[in-house]
Structure 1
Amino acid sequence: MKIGYCSPFNPIKSGISDFSEELVPVLTTEAEVVVFSPTVLENKIIEECCEVHPLKDLDNYELRKSLDIIVYHVGNSFSCHGEIVDYMQKYSGILELHDVGLHHFVAEKISKKQDWSSYVELVEYSHGMKGRKIAEEFLAGKISAPWDTYSSEMTMTRPFIECARGIIVHSEFAKQMVLGICDKNPITSIMLHTERITEDAEKFKRSCREKLGLSKNELIIGSFGFATHQKRIIQILDALKKIKKDGNSSFRYLIVGEAQEELKIKKKIQERNLDDNVIVTGFTELEEFKAYMGACDFCLNLRYPTQGESSASLHRMLGMGKPIIVTDIGTFSDYPDEIVKKVSYGEQEVEEIYQAIRELSRDKRQLKQRTQAALKYAEENCDIEKNAKTYVKFFEEVCNGTWLPDEEDVLISHLCELGLTDDDYTTELWEQIHISV
């Protein structure tokens, strides 16, 4: 099988760039891969293992027709994925949807052209008259941006899904959201891979701390990736202020990655008397990024609001055996409680973050159990070589017309058509069917 693979790659700063640079070499062991990139690649390993073209070469008819299928990686950033989406709309293929919510993408694209009438029409197409009213109220200055306030309800994903031959998502939550928008296309959920699963988590942690010159004995925790307000950095700082007030000042909090408002974050750190406890690294290269992650006793991966995204950083953490505190929302609610510790995003958010940090920092036995559970989960669900095989199997099924939907998805689709969408009723009925079979 010959696969056209369209994705951002480094030097484009994106978690999807890192994701693709890890996956492509492994995918080439299962199929022939031809990479189409919107930028010149920094990673020479990709060029050594497969054929590489600029994205515009998809316009070459002979080259395009030599491919069995094309996969387009799309996330919620127009600057990273705008050209890729343009080609997906010209030459249909598999849509690999890294964020179910693409409202930011659409708004960024529209804002560059200042064509807000088209935005309103697109909102109506995607979300009906109710969506149109919200868009018009926003443009009239009556409400805040819908992509923040209505991130889950107004995904704007319908046009992207409808032009795809098939869809790949990375969680059951995302899969059900897509099926609710359009249930006609082949779809599969492939959990984000873990590049490497650590054999000895404690030894790896010590080596990372030594490499970075960090204390062997301090409690070290961290948040990773682009530090936007959705990552709840300020709320974490508020919780850490309470930790320090308890008399525990022997800790480090690492904010690793480019910060959306770095000066604001640094001011908040100072206001909370946390200057000696917090390190803001700014953007780091991938190996340093992983070293900081490896140095942590446990990590935080908070998100609110959610765009239906999964987190590549979270899966790196699992592969390193890191206990993780997450927001109980969207895809993150899918993970078992023994793998992640969940906190709410409501009025009690800061208190719950505080209690979770306090509990994990004091309970060494729980920390060890969660480390072992994370490694086991990564081995069973996130192995990159198993993922590569799953990708190729799905591509072959779409090409051959042999793909079949899951029985449960068919059942849920029928129930939705009948208006029987109560979660408890659906679960009970599905269990009864399994028992009868």
Structure 2
Amino acid sequence: MKIAWFSPLPPKKSGIADFSSNVIPYLKKVSELSLFVEDYCPQYSFTKGCLVIPYVERDKIDWKVMEKLEDYDLVFFNMSNDFRFHSYAYELLLRFPGIVILHDYVLQFFYAGYYLIIKRNFSGYVEKFKELYSLDLVNAQSLKEGPSAVLNFLKKIYEDQSILQYPMNEEIISKSSCVITHSFFALEKIKKYNLSKPAFKLNLPFTLSEENIASLSQKNVLLSPHRGKEKLVAATFGYVLPNKAYESIFKVLQNSSFLQQNMEYWIIGGTFFWYNIHSLVKKYQLKNIVKVFDYQQPAQVIELLSQADICIALRAPTMGETSSSLLNMMLMAKPVVVLNSGWYKELPDDCVLKIDPCCVEKQLEEILLEAFEERQKLREIGIRAKEYILMYHTPYQYVENLIDCSQKLNIRSETK
């Protein structure tokens, strides 16, 4: 079987690159695997044994690639909300329908970045929105504001959580031959609005490498030791974005003198200039409690998370996304606090600490205060979390199910 795989790969700093680097070893065991990349050289350790085919040169697609794709049994396009890594694959998908692995249900920010930054075409986004929803995005006055009108619109629908009504995924789904998603939340919405489109839900695999997992076992850091009178450490891992409810967490810390005196909150992940987490820390006067580590290499992430007593992985609003960073924290046997909504609601109740989206600050404070007295309970939750991930979220299982779904659909005949 010949497989074509479109995805960012290391050294690109992308969650989808991490995802691909973990499933590629299993994909190449069951196929002749070709990795289609843009104009960069992926790390050899991830591409050994595969055919690497660049299909972009000088910011343009080499359209001869379409002739090559005719020779493949299965063609996969990984798509996420990050326009930096999927714009060329999107353009190719419009001409050559393949199996779309939809990592994000809402693609609003992909289209905004694609038109406003890649294409420098403000009106292109406006027209695409109107094409999909038969609605005028901007009026005559806001049209004069140019791209800022789109940004203001995105901010509004993001904050009032109406963004799920306008996911802007319809075009990509319609052009695909099949859609793979990672949550029942997203699957149900896709099937509701795309009745004839084959769609399946597979469990997202963890992205820690085998080397990192082996390192964890050797260091025996899956459970942080009882810290006596030392401060309790809570941590959030992953790209620092506004929907991770940092302000709610900061309000909890600001309102509790006990937590301020007895705990630290670590933020581990890449930051963006347009969301200044450092200013937010200063605003809430938490510089002595909150530590921002910015982007860290995998080994450093493991070292930091190994010292955490509890992790916080809130998404407010949730937009149908799944979280590999959460899976990795669970794999490290960490008890994790999540909102009881979206994909997070689908996780077993005894493997994570779920809080009501309507009572975030109240319930989060209760959990953090209880953590000082319930360390053993937290460790037991972490153990169950690790067992669950190893049972249902391995890269091996993912590839096995991915191939099984694709072959059942006889995708080759549908794409040619």
Match of 1:101 among 88, 100, 106: 106
Distance (Å, rounded) in 2 between the aligned partners of 1:361 and 1:189: 38
Per the alignment, residue 397 of structure 1 pairs with 408
- TM-score, structure 1 as length reference: 0.81
Residue 187 to residue 147, structure 1, CA distance change in 2 (3 Å): same
- Hey, what's the Cα distance between the residues in 1 that align with 2:283 and 2:330? 33
- Residue 334 (1) aligns with residue 346 (2): yes
Question: How large is the RMSD of aligned CA atoms in angstroms?
Answer: 3.2
- Looking at structure 1, the residues matched to 248 and 295 of structure 2 have their Cα atoms a distance apart, in angstroms, of 21
1:9 match: 9
Question: Could you list the per-position Cα deviations for residues 246-280 of structure 1 after superposition, in whole angstroms to 9, with x for gaps in the alignment?
Answer: 26624332111112359842233345443333221
Distance 1:256 1:78, change over 3 A: same
1:299 is aligned to: 311
Aligned 8 A contact 2:223 2:333 in 1: no
Matches for 1:230-241 after TM superposition, within 5 Å:
230-241=243-254
Determine whether 1:220 maps to 2:233. yes
Q: How many residues align structurally?
A: 395
Counterpart Cα distance in 2 of 1:402 and 1:35:
22
Cα 1:276/1:120, change in 2 over 3 Å:
closer
Structure 2 residues without counterparts, runs of 5 or longer: 57-61, 144-148
CA contact (8 A) 2:371 2:378 kept: yes
Is the helix fraction higher in 1 or 2?
A: 1
Structure 1, unmatched stretches of 5+, are 404-437
Match of 1:383 in 2: 394
The equivalent residue for 2:355 is: 343
Counterpart for residue 146 of structure 2:
none
- Aligned-residue sequence identity (percent) comes to 22
How far is 1:144 from its partner?
3.9
Maintained 8 Å contact 2:235/2:312: yes
Q: Is the 2:103–2:321 Cα contact (8 Å) retained in structure 1?
A: yes
Write the mapping of 1:165-180 to structure 2, written as runs, cut at 5 A.
Answer: 165-180=177-192
- Say which SS state the counterpart of residue 104 (structure 2) adopts: coil
Match of 2:199 in 1: 187
Q: Give the match's secondary structure for 1:249.
A: helix
1:126 partnered with 2:132:
yes
Name the CA shift for 1:283/1:137 in 2 (closer, same or farther; >3 Å).
Answer: farther
- Does the 8 Å CA contact 2:222/2:334 hold for their aligned counterparts? no
Q: For residue 99 of structure 1, report the CA deviation from its aligned partner.
A: 0.4
User: Secondary structure at 2:330's aligned position in 1?
Assistant: helix
State how 1:105-116 maps to structure 2 within 5 Å.
105-112=110-117, 113=119, 115-116=121-122
* 3-state SS of paired residue (1:246): helix
Question: 5 Å matches for 1:34-433?
Answer: 34-56=34-56, 59-61=64-66, 63-112=68-117, 113=119, 115-128=121-134, 132-133=135-136, 135-136=138-139, 139=142, 144-145=153-154, 148=158, 149=160, 150-195=162-207, 206=221, 217-243=230-256, 245-246=257-258, 249-261=261-273, 264-346=276-358, 348-399=359-410
TM-fit CA distance, 1:7: 0.5
* Cα separation, 2, equivalents of 1:298 and 1:305: 22
Partners of 1:333 and 1:192 lie apart in 2 by: 15
| TM-score (normalised: structure 2) | 0.85
